[in-house]
Amino acid sequence: MKRIIAAACFVAVIGLAPAHAVLPDEVMADPVKEARARNLSRELRCMVCQNQSIDDSEAPLARDLRLLVRERIAAGDNDAQVVGFLVARYGEFVLLKPRFERQTLALWLVTPFLLLGGGLALWLHVRRRAKDGLQTANRPLTAEEEARLAALISGDAPPEQP
């Protein structure tokens, strides 16, 4: 019974479509222009939510931005012009994925450099540990260690002292 319920829940979750905040009165009559507007809305950040696109956000400002995108498309602007207009008005922060420019170079390059540096540090650490382990394994026992080992094997070893 538990498996049937789990399977039903899994199918229900898989079958759910992503929820979008676009209201019916915002939808453009031309399906091609509406598809362009939806694609652009997925690339633009909601200035209120800050981690959602305006396509997903239900904030009033996100609705205003969706309407503004549709107005610019209806006026004949291409996608680059619409994005350029919004960036000029709200700044680069309005883009969910920042452009690769001089100002955003740190955003794009810090993560790969940190990953490479961490990988290099890990590789050096493993190499050093392996080298130290080989040196320790190949070192002969001292006379004291051999005597202690012989005593342990024969069962005559004195109790450990803390």
pTM of the model: 0.55
Residue 91, SS3 per DSSP: coil
With a pLDDT cut of 90, the percent of the chain lying above it is 12
Residue 86, SS3 per DSSP: helix
Which pLDDT value is given to residue 160? 65
The more confidently predicted of residues 8 and 49 is 49
CA nearest to 37, candidates 23, 27, 45? 27
What is the C-alpha radius of gyration for the chain, rounded to an integer number of angstroms?
Answer: 32
CATH number of 2-94: 1.10.8.640
CB-based contacts of 61, cutoff 8 Å, min separation 6? 46, 47, 48
